[in-house]
Amino acid sequence: MNFFDAVVRALHKKHGEGSGGSFIMPTIKTEGYAHAGLRQLLAQERELLIFDDSLTLPALDVPYDVVLWNGGLLPRAQHAEFHLTHENPAPLAADTSSFSDLARALTSTLVVRITASPKTPLSLGWICDALRPAILCSSLRIEVAGGIQASIILEDRALSENHLHLSSLELVLEESSSLDCALLANAHAPTSLRGVQATVHANAKLRMIRTVSPTGRAREEITCEIFEGAHASLRALMVQKTGHTSLSTRMVHKEKNASSMQIFRSAVFSGAEVDVDVRTDVAPHASGTSARQETKHLLMEEGAKAYTVPRLFIHNDDVVCSHGATMGHATPELLSYMATRGIGEQRAKALLALGHMAELAHHLPASCEANYLASLRSLFQLGSGRHLPTENIFRFSTPSKMDCPLSILTLQPPLRNWARL
């Protein structure tokens, strides 16, 4: 059930199927709203009014207590706006004559402004589902009002299912706001997203995590401008079975006393390639900057390729900046060690990769972490993983006298239990 169908069902329950009165629902500027259900309501000459708090909607994964739709599809404009707010704006008249024109006219940007702190993460999938097929935009802008704390989950699969192929994403965090943003790739198709531009204003905090499709070719650029006292972190998980992923990131410290962090993990299979270009810029007047870069590649098989270019452009002496890049693979000694515990070579490599990626997967939203680890187990052909520990997956320490390029092995539970996987 999508957002619109849920509203209609609740309205019918409250007012009755045969009522000739007005429906009360979240404010929707209906110009250009091409949903067939809404057209049907308008055909019945029912007036659309504002949400009145007494209407209870079916249980869905949408925080309705903060979702009121103010604004809409603007005639011949270059963007559509939807506001998430506690405010009740004035009723908006329905205009059915502009439906077809607006559906064709929408071209560029969908703007979502968050002005109240949601209790649960907002999934943009339900916005796309509610708007289908009216929205045909190529970019998305998310604005977080000052002092607001929010969490957003943006799934490539949900967007593609709703025919919303975004090429760019813009994040704007106003002063003292906070945003957790999860950009989750489709496991079976490359992403359409090509660029992310973030602006983190004074004392705001942005925490972003990105997963990358394991197949196909993708090139993505992520740039973040950080102002006084703000913090921005970016984590990326890249499992590349086939194809080529190129990720270019840049943290730009514009003002003083700001901090940033860029942490990447990759597991690359034979014939696949991962390129990571990590850059941090510190402006001359950005004193007190703290910046960290860390990249770790795991080469799963012969023929796997991974490249990292860590770069620091520092124009101020009063900073603390670090960068590091490592690359490793499963050595014969390691595989022999695991074989003595009943773990075959392919499974040993798969478990190693799972543990390597799980280190960052714990930063995914709670509702997404289990699904992501399950997709990795399927990708690595590890089965259901019912014997895998739910916490501390692969807390490794290097066995004595073993040449091991990564910090690995000594498992919880003991290794003998892993033979049943």
User: Do residues 344 and 290 both lie within one domain?
Assistant: no
Which of these three, 311, 329, 347, is where a domain ends? 329
Using the predicted structure, report yes or no on whether residue 147 has a pLDDT greater than 60: yes
User: Do residues 18 and 99 both lie within one domain?
Assistant: yes
> Residue 12's pLDDT band (boundaries 50, 70, 90)?
low
Q: Total structural domains in the chain?
A: 2
Burial (Cβ within 10 Å: 0-12, 13-18, ≥19) of residue 54: exposed
Which of these three, 329, 345, 375, is where a domain ends? 329
User: Do residues 360 and 420 both lie within one domain?
Assistant: yes
Using the predicted structure, report yes or no on whether residue 92 has a pLDDT greater than 70: no
Using the predicted structure, report yes or no on whether residue 363 has a pLDDT greater than 80: yes
Burial (Cβ within 10 Å: 0-12, 13-18, ≥19) of residue 338: buried
Burial (Cβ within 10 Å: 0-12, 13-18, ≥19) of residue 284: exposed
User: Do residues 348 and 301 both lie within one domain?
Assistant: no
Does the pTM surpass 0.95? The reply is no
Least confident window among 227-236, 287-296, 372-381? 372-381
Give pLDDT, residue 292.
Answer: 96
Using the predicted structure, report yes or no on whether residue 140 has a pLDDT greater than 70: yes
Which of these three, 281, 304, 329, is where a domain ends? 329
Using the predicted structure, report yes or no on whether residue 17 has a pLDDT greater than 60: no
User: Tens digit of pLDDT for each residue in 168-211?
Assistant: 889 999 999 999 999 888 766 666 778 899 999 999 999 999 98
User: Do residues 346 and 356 both lie within one domain?
Assistant: yes
For 205-221, give the DSSP string.
Answer: EEEEEEEE-SSSEEEEE
Using the predicted structure, report yes or no on whether residue 129 has a pLDDT greater than 70: no
> Residue 158's pLDDT band (boundaries 50, 70, 90)?
low
CB atoms within 10 A of CB 52: 9
User: Do residues 80 and 194 both lie within one domain?
Assistant: yes
> Residue 109's pLDDT band (boundaries 50, 70, 90)?
low
User: Do residues 163 and 41 both lie within one domain?
Assistant: yes
Nearest to 169 by CA among 207, 220, 233: 220
Least confident window among 131-145, 274-288, 344-358, 375-389? 375-389
User: Do residues 323 and 336 both lie within one domain?
Assistant: no
Enclosing domain of residue 34: 3-329
CA–CA gap between residue 113 and residue 146 (Å, rounded): 11
pLDDT higher at 239 or 48: 239
User: Do residues 373 and 318 both lie within one domain?
Assistant: no
User: Do residues 226 and 256 both lie within one domain?
Assistant: yes
> Residue 124's pLDDT band (boundaries 50, 70, 90)?
low
CA–CA gap between residue 71 and residue 73 (Å, rounded): 7
User: Tens digit of pLDDT for each residue in 226-243?
Assistant: 999 999 999 999 988 888
User: Do residues 286 and 409 both lie within one domain?
Assistant: no
Show the tokens assigned to 144.
């977080």
User: Do residues 308 and 397 both lie within one domain?
Assistant: no
